[in-house]
Chains A and B, each alone.
Chain A
Amino acid sequence: MTETRIERHHYDVVVIGAGGAGLRAAIEARLAGKKTAIISKSLFGKAHTVMAEGGAAAAMGNVNPRDNWQVHFRDTMRGGKFLNNFRMAELHAKESPQRIWELETYGALFDRTKDGKISQRNFGGHEYPRLAHVGDRTGLELIRTLQQKIVSLQQEDKRELGDYEARIRVFAETTITELLLDGDRVAGAFGYYRESGEFILFEAPAVVLATGGVGRSYKVTSNSWEYTGDGHALALRAGATLINMEFLQFHPTGMVWPPSVKGILVTESVRGDGGVLKNSEGKRFMFDYVPDVFRKQYADNEAEADRWYKDPDNNRRPPELLPRDEVARAINSEVKAGRGTPAGGVYLDIASRLPAEEIRRRLPSMHHQFKELADVDITKEPMEVGPTCHYVMGGVEVDPDSGAAAGSVRGLFAAGEVSGGMHGSNRLGGNSLSDLLVFGKRAGGHAASYTDQLPTRPKISVAAVEAAVETALAPLQRDTGESPYVLQQDLQAVMGELVGIIRREGELVDALGKLAQLRERVAKVSAAGGRRYNPGWHLALDLRNMLVVSECTAKAALERQESRGGHTREDFPQMDAKWRRVNLVCSLDGDAVRLERKPLPKMRPELISLFDRAELAKYLTDEELAEFDALTEEAGK
């Protein structure tokens, strides 16, 4: 390999990731007049965003006029167990309605209310009906709308400049393996075309990461093959930091049978529309699992719960609509107690609750999916569901307003699932689609203005490119190492068994030992075949990303000695107010993951005053509560 051909491109902003956040960021950068590239690991329009079913949360108040951003903010903080970056939660609650309305001007067609506005549905953890939706294929609508908006911008450029790709171009089936720096500034990105295996180099002063999550490190996952933590790992290697990596959301209701569809999600709206969870004894068990902090909002008997669907103002909610972690834990406990289904899940029953016609109307793609994939008719029989790895709350530590990555690097931005802080320890359903839009737009806009205030364009060093080429080609040139598929299975086994939904100190220590061994094996991985569309080679390159991100998760999970949201320690089952004030921050020290504690930013007075003292008492330390009391006293004067 003496001569390696590398295709070079110059852009102002390179967006890595073509899901909701990436496309929204690219639109914003292009609208700011920047020459923008979108890197998509799959074909354009196939991103994992299409899988989001329920909807996009935005306090538009179309269904219940009492809804507003303050209520949405409260719900988000509550859902994240107060570990959220309050500023991100605030911006998200304030800006999501505009972001949704904007989509309509791009051509989105949401379901409507009777008076012609965007309809909104109930969802776990949201006080009012808040999720804008299109049947149960909201994610597809979102991605298609953004995709078509990009096409529309390209058509404008074609009219104006004679070339569709004059100012915005999509590089489909392209993977970035390395970010390139000039000192502490981002200078570009290096990667390869999956189709041809040819290398490609982007010279760009600003990069937006929008690569999604890390779920492929787990065996039972709803995530697609793309979710290998690329953005997390790229950020780490470029000198940025990750926060909250111990918090992974296991969606409570993924399909567990048949095996071909294990992990695929059953949307929460099945429960929002009346579906109930039953164990193998036929008992509706969720009433036994309402935690004290939620007693006020959730019913303790079936009669009241059932009335809620018709009259939500005068009844408490059914416990099936508790936040996701509570439901996941409840199912896990039932299964461990031997009351699960043969396949290791529980039953989710909507068939006995609604007429068949109504189920087909409200949950068309759910019905379709089960019929086609599993030959199960959800209007006739219950589904078998269980927890599945779904979403990582943790991610790149960012400035809440601009999405700029923290740490030593400049010119790097992150939005969507790859960024951390917004959702705290647990994300509410529906908050991710609006998160993508709100922070995608912000990251794209700030990346554009960052390039404006740069005095000189950063330069790429030849040595860095050569090193990147060498790393990328290494697995193909070795024939002594192990198969990447075997290594991935082993990694999934470690993460699934030892860093899964319920964690213990001994197992986490064990996991770190096994990950260290895996690291050595991954360094020697070899891939058979050539460079042209070779999935084995692609996986071999993704493995090192999956590995470093898994190490972050395991380390942070071992450090945090409490249970909160998406992190459950069997040896520390309680939430601990002292831990609420701490963010665990991962960075890279050479090759090793370094973990530090960092204080959580303090909520502004007018925001903390939105909560009842009684509620805050469950989360805050005595010291913080005293501060809060002083604050209210002052306000009372």
Chain B
Amino acid sequence: MGTKRQFRIWRGDESGGDLQDYAVEVNEGEVVLDVIHRLQATDAPDLACRWNCKAGKCGSCSMEINGKPRLSCMTRMSTFEDDETVTVTPLRTFPVIRDLVTDVSFNYEKARETPAFAPPADVAPGEYRMQQVDVERSQEFRKCIECYLCQNVCHVIRDHEENKPAFSGPRFFIRAAELDMHPLDAKTDRKEYAQSEMGLGFCNITKCCTEVCPEHIKITDNGIIPMKERVVDRRYDPLVWLGSKIFRRGQVPQTSVTSEHHSGAGSAQSGVHSHAGGSHDARSEAQAQKGVNWHRQVPHPTAPPLDANGKLPLTELTFDKAAAPSPFGDDVTFPLPPEHLNFAHPQQDQPKH
């Protein structure tokens, strides 16, 4: 009852590899992981691939299928045309170990650097009282199955190895948001920490992470943006501003976690941002030499943060700089590097006819 379908699967290790062609039997109702298992049992017994639950609950079988980051256990074969070749490659953002298995230890390091839940000192076990409505916001983020597809797709670190030390990534922004919104967490500087130590400022809200999330967590809208907004609230609070003018402190209220000036903002200023600012990436330099890449898919620009009146929310009086904030965002410096000179038509995503 099965039909033969064409697969191209990346085989190799850190020293290199290539796509290999396989013709595999596919039955009705199967997913890509079923096909990989069949390959292991037949043509390629040593084909390396991670998986556990095969039910979209453990987040082990992340890979890129036809270039899209997916869980292979959740990618039904019926979503492809019968004569379509399915290309399966390992996650691009992490170093390859073998075949479809990558070294995701980056994520475990970042997890270890994210401060843990701080239990309230004066509440005994069994005495925790919280309302359902208050825990639901954090519960959304606790749905995360740690498949790391959001980390993989995030352009701040995809192809930008140099950003990895200073950037924790969407998975850990929602971890910070989850703790920030936890009704009983005793630590009060989650957002400042995310801004200063986790590289929250690198994110320019292209929402790629939300798009690939198999749990449909609204990573950007419900996690990252509220974290950014509240950091901004604090930074631009007139009283804090006045205090900082008087006492000549930094813009961020100093807390135990916001150590002196740390890598996050530092490297942002030195211009290794993915969409704006100069790039030291050899590949983009080479592209720049060839001239403007007109076929590059340009992310939509981030809208400036307007208030209810359609204005930028700050007057000069309450702002910590000598002028109104840049509508391009503070992380963009001019002139833009040549490889970023490109034009996104406002209707670029709409069908032509």
- What residues make up the interface of A, taking CB atoms closer than 8 Å to B? 42-48, 50-51, 60, 97-98, 101-102, 104-107, 109-112, 115-119, 134-135, 137, 140-141, 144, 148-149, 151-152, 154-155, 164, 172, 195, 224-226, 257-261, 264, 365, 368-369, 372-375, 483-486, 489, 527-530, 532-537
CB of B132 within 8 A of CB of A109, answer no
Give the residues from 89 to 120 in chain B that come closer than 8 angstroms, CB to CB, to chain A: 97-99, 101, 103-104, 108, 111-112, 114-117, 119
Cβ-defined partner of B101 (8 Å) among A172, A484, A533: A533
Task: Write out the residue numbers on chain B whose beta carbons fall within 8 Å of the beta carbon of A260.
Answer: 29-31, 34, 76
Docked Cα-Cα span, A374 to B98, in Å, equals: 30
Known: A50-B145, A112-B131, A144-B142. A373 touches B56 (CB 8 A): yes
Cβ A537 vs Cβ B46 within 8 A = yes
Q: Are A155 and B115 in contact (CB under 8 A)?
A: yes
Task: Please list 16 pairs of residues, one from A and one from B, whose beta carbons are closer than 8 Å in the complex, sorted by A's number.
Answer: A42-B52, A50-B145, A51-B58, A101-B128, A104-B125, A109-B182, A117-B129, A141-B142, A151-B112, A155-B115, A224-B58, A260-B30, A264-B55, A374-B29, A534-B48, A535-B46
Alpha-carbon gap, A47 to B145, bound state (A) = 11
Q: Are A483 and B128 in contact (CB under 8 A)?
A: no
Report B30-59 CB contacts with A as 1/0, cut-off 8 Å: 110010000011000111111111111111
**B27, B117, B146: most-surrounded residue (chain A CB, <10 A):** B117
Contacting residue for B125 out of A44, A102, A195, CB 8 A = A102
State whether B50 touches A109 (Cβ < 8 A). no
**Inter-subunit contact B126/A373 (CB<8 Å):** no
Q: Which of B29, B55, B59, B60 is the one whose CB lies under 8 Å from A51?
A: B55
Q: Nearest Cβ in chain A — how far from B293, in angstroms?
A: 36
Q: B57 — nearest CB in chain A belongs to which residue?
A: A50
Residue of A nearest to B125 (CB): A101
Output the least CB separation between A77 and chain B (Å).
26
B13 within 8 A of A: yes
Q: Which residue of A lies closest to B42 (CB)?
A: A485
Q: Decide: A224 near B53, CB < 8 A? Known: A104-B125, A112-B132, A535-B47.
A: yes
- A528–B125 touching, CB < 8 Å: no
Partner of A109, one of B58, B59, B142: B142
| Best-surrounded residue of B27, B45, B115 (most CB of chain A within 10 A) | B45
Min CB gap B212→A, angstroms: 14
Please provide the 10 A-B residue pairs with the shortest distance between their CB atoms, ordered closest to farther.
A258-B29, A529-B46, A107-B117, A152-B116, A116-B129, A536-B45, A101-B125, A485-B41, A101-B126, A533-B48
B296 within 8 A of A: no
Residues of A within 8 A of B98 (CB): 195, 532-533
For the complex with contacts A260-B29, A261-B54, 4 further pairs of A-B residues with Cβ separation under 8 Å are: A51-B57, A116-B131, A529-B46, A535-B46
B66 at the interface (CB under 8 A from A): no
CB distance from A15 to the nearest CB of B (A): 18
Residue of B nearest to A526 (CB): B45
Q: Is B52 a contact partner of A46 (Cβ separation < 8 A)?
A: yes
Q: Are B132 and A111 in contact (CB-based, < 8 A)?
A: yes
Residues of A close to B125: CB separation below 8 A: 98, 101-102, 104-105
Contacting pair B139 A134 (CB below 8 A): yes
User: In the assembly, what is the distance between CA of A97 and CA of B127, in Å?
Assistant: 12
Select from chain A the residue with minimum beta-carbon distance to B74: A372
Return the chain A residue nearest B183 by Cβ. Answer: A109
Q: Which of A107, A224, A369, A528 is close to B45, meaning CB atoms less than 8 Å apart?
A: A528
How many whole Å from A367's CB to the nearest CB in chain B? 11
Chain A proximity of B72: nearest CB distance (Å): 11
User: Contact at A106–B53, with CB atoms within 8 Å?
Assistant: no
- Min CB gap B75→A, angstroms: 9
Interchain CB contact under 8 A, A154 and B145: no
Q: How many residues of B contact A (CB 8 A)?
A: 64
Separation in Å of the B113 CB from the closest CB of chain A? 9
User: Binary interface profile of B, 290-319, with partner A (CB < 8 Å = 1, else 0)?
Assistant: 000000000000000000000000000000
Q: Mark B128-143, 1 if CB is under 8 A from A, else 0.
A: 1111100100110011
Shortest CB-to-CB span from A520 to chain B, Å, is 21
Residue contact B13 to A225, C-beta cutoff 8 Å:
no
Q: Which of B114, B128, B139 has the most CB of A within 10 A?
A: B128
CA distance A462 to B289 in the complex (A): 61
Known contacts A101-B128, A109-B142, A535-B40: A48-B30 contact under CB 8 Å: no
Q: What total count of A-B pairs have CB within 8 Å? A: 180
Query: B349 within 8 Å of A by Cβ?
Result: no
Distance in angstroms between the alpha carbons of A151 and B103 in the assembled complex: 19
Q: Contacts A137-B143, A259-B30, A533-B48: A264 and B76 contacting too (C-beta < 8 A)?
A: no
Let me know if A109 and B131 touch, CB within 8 A.
no
Q: Is B56 a contact of A50 with CB atoms below 8 Å?
A: no
Query: Who on chain B is nearest to A109 by CB?
Result: B135
Quick one: closest B residue to A227, CB to CB?
A: B52
* Interchain CB contact (< 8 A) of B111 among A102, A151, A365, A532: A151
Q: B52 near A48 (CB under 8 angstroms)?
A: yes
Identify A46's interface contact among B58, B76, B130, CB under 8 A: B58
Q: Are A48 and B53 in contact (CB under 8 A)?
A: yes
Contact B53 A51 (CB under 8 A): yes
Check A195–B97 contact: CB distance below 8 A: yes
Bound CA–CA A144/B112 (angstroms): 13
Q: Are A258 and B28 touching (Cβ within 8 A)?
A: yes
Query: Using Cβ atoms and an 8 Å threshold, which residues of chain B touch A365?
Result: 57, 143
- Within the complex, the shortest CB–CB distance from A146 to chain B, in Å, comes to 12
**Knowing A134-B142, A529-B45 touch, does A259 contact B53 (C-beta < 8 A)?**
no
What B residues does A46 contact at CB under 8 A?
52-53, 58-60, 146
Contact check, A264 vs B54: say whether CB atoms are below 8 A apart.
Answer: yes
Q: Inside 8 A of B40's CB, which chain A residues have their CB?
A: 485, 535-536
Other-chain contact of B60, A43, A102, A154 (Cβ < 8 Å): A43
Residues of A contacting B59 in the complex (Cβ-Cβ under 8 angstroms): 46
Q: In chain B, what residue has the closest Cβ to A528?
A: B45
Residues of chain A within 8 A (CB-CB) of B104 are: 43
A155 to B115, CA, bound (A): 8
Q: Considering only CB atoms, which chain A residue lies closest to B146 in the complex? A: A45
The answer to whether A527 and B45 touch (CB under 8 A), given A107-B182, A112-B131, A141-B142, is: yes
User: In the assembled complex, which residues on chain B have CB atoms less than 8 Å from the CB atom of A97?
Assistant: 126
Chain A: minimal CB distance from B254 (Å) = 20
Q: Tell whether, in the assembled complex, residue A259 and residue B138 are in contact, meaning their CB atoms are under 8 Å apart.
A: no
Residues of chain A lying within 8 A (CB to CB) of residue B144: 144
Q: How far is the CA of A195 from the CA of B95 in the complex (A)?
A: 12
Residue in contact with A140 in the complex, picked from B28, B103, B145, CB distance below 8 Å:
B145
Q: Is the Cβ of A528 less than 8 Å from the Cβ of B46? A: yes
Q: Looking at the assembled complex, report how far the CB atom of A611 sits from the nearest CB atom of chain B, in whole angstroms.
A: 29
Q: Mark B1-45, 1 if CB is under 8 A from A, else 0.
A: 000000000000100000000000001111100100000110001
Let me know if A259 and B28 touch, CB within 8 A: yes
Q: How far is the CA of A46 from the CA of B108 in the complex (A)?
A: 13
Partner of A43, one of B29, B31, B50, B73: B50
Cβ distance A421 to chain B, nearest Cβ, rounded Å: 27
User: B179 → chain A, closest Cβ, in Å?
Assistant: 8
CA distance A536 to B48 in the complex (A): 9
Point out which of A42, A97, A104, A149 has the most chain B C-beta atoms below 10 A from its C-beta: A104
B99 nearest CB neighbor, chain A only: A533
Rounded to whole angstroms, the CA-CA distance of A260 and B144 in the bound complex is: 23
CB contact between B116 and one of A102, A148, A486, A534 (< 8 Å): that residue: A148
Contacts of A152 in B (CB 8 A): 116-117
Query: When the two chains form their complex, are residues A155 and B28 in contact, meaning their CB atoms are under 8 A apart?
Result: no
A50 to B60, CA, bound (A): 12
A529 cross-chain contacts in B, Cβ below 8 A: 45-46
Chain A, residue nearest B175 (CB): A148
- Assess the B46–A373 pair: CB atoms within 8 A: no
Q: Which of A47, A60, A195 has the most CB of B within 10 A?
A: A195
List of A residues within 8 angstroms of B216 by Cβ:
368
B130 close to A116 (CB less than 8 A):
yes
Chain A, Cβ-Cβ closest to B38: A485
Distance of A96 from chain B, by nearest CB (Å):
12
Quick one: closest B residue to A119, CB to CB? B132
Residues in A with CB closer than 8 Å to B214 are: 372
Q: Whole-angstrom distance between the alpha carbons of A299 and B139 in the complex?
A: 36
Interchain CA distance A50-B29 in the complex, whole Å? 24
